[in-house]
Amino acid sequence: MPMIEIRDLRKSYAELEVLKGISFDVEKGEVVVVLGPSGSGKSTMLRCINLLEEFQGGGIRIDGEAIGYTTTEGGKRRRRKEAENAKLREQVGMVFQSFNLFPHRTVLQNVMMGPLKVKGIARREAEALARDLLKKVGLLDKADQYPARLSGGQQQRVGIARALAMQPKVMLFDEVTSALDPELVGEVLRVMRQLAQEGMTMIIVTHEIHFARDVGDRIIFMDHGAIVEEGLPANILANPKSDRFKQFLRRYQGDYLDT
Amino acid sequence: MTPNVLINNLPYLLKGALVTLELSVVVLIAGNLLGLVIGIVATSVGRIGQSLITAYIFVLRGIPILVIMLLGYYAFPALGYRVPAYVAVGVAQIIYVSAFVAEIVRSAILSVPSGQIAAARSLGMRRFSILKEIVLPQATRIAIPPLLNNSLTAIKQTSYVSVVGVWELTYAAREVVERTLASFQIFLGVMAIYFIICYPLSLLARRWERRAAVVQ
């Protein structure tokens, strides 16, 4: 059974269909990188997986559990109870482009938020876990700082630690380096690479093509709300089939040809 | 018109000030609490509830406090209830203040970035927990300065109750002036008393501003 199972996912805003039937699986421990121009629906797809966005058709399963909606035998679609969906969300960690750290809490308190307020584990235990994770992302010395004092790269690493604190089965990364200064991108990618090596199941939406090639087990290219191509990084990047993917690679790889 | 006419009448004025202070405390506590609840409810109910609350806020904001107080003063007897004047105008003041507080609270809650809520939801946090741990603490920082400002206004506008014969500082001052004709000295003294009542809140607002600046 795949860890993530997406079948014919459809979403529209009024008239505009932004996801036109997306289907793919992610196996346990697999790292899938999603590429695509802005407006292709890749972030929206990611946000559907932990139900930050509602979707109108198709289904998503995490480790066999349907997210958001269940379909009865008669084919009727029913929204799951909010408490059930929150429970499912606990298993899906998410890291955001704009970090979204809680500004009124210290770094340590940010990482402890999930374990304390959702899992309800003891404070001492939560703090030990949080310190472990901060050490892992190299920010133990910043534990008592407020997020505003940190650089973008540091904030994003805290964002990763905060998501990991829930010990999720799956991690979703939504253009997590897009808001960073170029010299800060590396430190965030390093943490993600380490996670991948440890066997975390990940879906990464990014524009970092080099990183996609190095870390991704599979690449999916999306455009206009649909999957255009997918395959092994080495194959798909070397021999793009569609014109749209070729065009995309030319635009984004151009920047990296010298590096 | 001797210079110490103010000093001679000070005990009487201070008795009035005590009533003003009591009225202010009641109006501030009840008005802020009611407004807080309305403001929070406004951000978590459906469209009909929102429309009702918007109507409540807009109507009250569009009426002079004197008019709503007079309405309160005459409405209770017209409806057949015998209510002491100070209760009628007190209730009117509380409702009036609550509308302004509700609007401040509502807009402060809505100004918390949606990414904050997305992050909290992605951790699996439930609605109430998100409100308590994430939204309200951040909204509070935004709302405190306008709330303190609003409270200052609320204290000062308790002087309107003198119009319908409720005895407090302004009413007492008018009595003394009528008796002594020393309008200048007496009202100068009354100014000073109102200022002293309001000063701590003004200080608090300043201090908060400085603290918030440091955290940012």
Q: Which of A44, A47, A104 to mutate to test the interface with B (most CBs of B within 10 A)?
A: A104
pLDDT in tens, A107-129: 999 999 999 999 999 999 999 99
- Using 50, 70 and 90 to split pLDDT, how confident is the model at B156? very high
Looking at residue B91, its pLDDT comes to 93
Looking at residue B75, its pLDDT comes to 87
Q: Do A102 and B123 touch (CB under 8 A)?
A: no
CB < 8 Å from B in window 134-173 of A: 146, 148, 162-163, 166
Q: Do B119 and A148 touch (CB under 8 A)?
A: no
Q: Which of A111, A118, A150 to mutate to test the interface with B (most CBs of B within 10 A)?
A: A118
Q: Which of B14, B96, B113 is nearest to B57 (CA)?
A: B96
d(CA A76, CA A207) in angstroms, rounded, equals 38
Q: Which of B133, B128, B112 is nearest to A110 (CA)?
A: B133
Q: Do B123 and A163 touch (CB under 8 A)?
A: yes
Q: pTM for this one?
A: 0.86
pLDDT, greater one: B195 or A256: B195
Cβ neighbours of B216 in A, within 8 Å: 148
pLDDT in tens, A47-95: 999 999 999 999 999 999 999 998 877 778 888 988 889 989 999 999 9
Distances (CA, A) of B45 to A79, A240, B106, B135: 19, 50, 12, 16
Element at B149 (helix H, strand E):
helix B136-156
Q: Is the pLDDT of residue A259 over 50?
A: no
Q: Which of A157, A153, A259, A162 is nearest to A208 (CA)?
A: A259
Q: Is the pLDDT of residue B214 over 70?
A: no
Q: Put the strands of the sheet holding A4-13 in their side by side order.
A: A16-26, A4-13, A57-62, A65-66
* Mean pLDDT over each residue of chain B, to the nearest integer: 92
Residues contacting B99, CB < 8 A, separation 6+: B35, B38, B56, B57, B60, B61
Q: Is B123 on the interface with A (CB under 8 A)?
A: yes
A148, A162, A166 member nearest B216 (Cβ)? A148
Cβ neighbours of B123 in A, within 8 Å: 89-90, 113-114, 117-118, 162-163, 166
Residue A66, classed as helix, strand or coil, is strand
Cβ neighbours of B127 in A, within 8 Å: 82
Looking at residue B213, its pLDDT comes to 65
Q: Closest-CA residue in chain A for B120?
A: A114
